[in-house]
Amino acid sequence: MARYVLEVAARFEAAHHLRSYRGAPEPVHGHSWKVVARLATERLDAEGIAFDFVAVRDALRRLAARLDHRDINSVAPFDDISPTTERLAEWFHAELRRELGPGAPLAAVTVFEGPDASATYVAEGGEA
């Protein structure tokens, strides 16, 4: 069966630190972050669109703006938990799901901590 996979990305600049990296707090440092939302569906609408890129892009940009040029450790829920890349991917997924609604075919969100390292959160029943 045919499957369409869409990817929409946003970028932001932010600092963070892990609260207990190898047993000690990590120094505050910054990254050029990239977040990629992946949507997957088997169907196109009457226009031939799997899901509206504009809606995903706008939602992703709003979420990234909440972290842009901030210390992520000062932004809820990361003021209480260590802001690992894995947790950021899960947070973006949950917030994007809320923004787009339950009908959006959101399969996964990947967060890049710089150009060479990333973590992906895959929705239950989704595929990366």
Mean pLDDT of the chain: 94
The pLDDT tens digits for 44-97 are: 999 999 999 999 999 999 999 999 999 999 999 999 999 999 999 999 999 999
pTM score, whole prediction: 0.93
Domain that holds residue 110: 4-122
127 in any annotated domain: no
What was the pLDDT predicted at 102? 86
Task: Say if residue 127's pLDDT is above 80.
Answer: no
Bridging pattern class, strands 29-41 and 106-113: antiparallel
| Number of domains forming the structure of the chain | 1
Query: Residue 41 is part of a domain; what is its CATH number?
Result: 3.30.479.10
Asked whether residue 17 is assigned to any structural domain, the reply reads yes
Residue 14 falls within a domain, yes or no? Answer: yes
User: Phi then psi for 40, rounded to 5 degrees?
Assistant: -135, 135
Return d(Cα 29, Cα 96) in angstroms, integer: 26
102 lies in a domain?
A: yes
Residue 95 maps to a domain: yes
128 assigned to some structural domain: no
Helix axes 85-100, 53-65, angle to 10 degrees: 130
First to last CA, the chain: 17
Q: Is residue 94 part of a domain?
A: yes
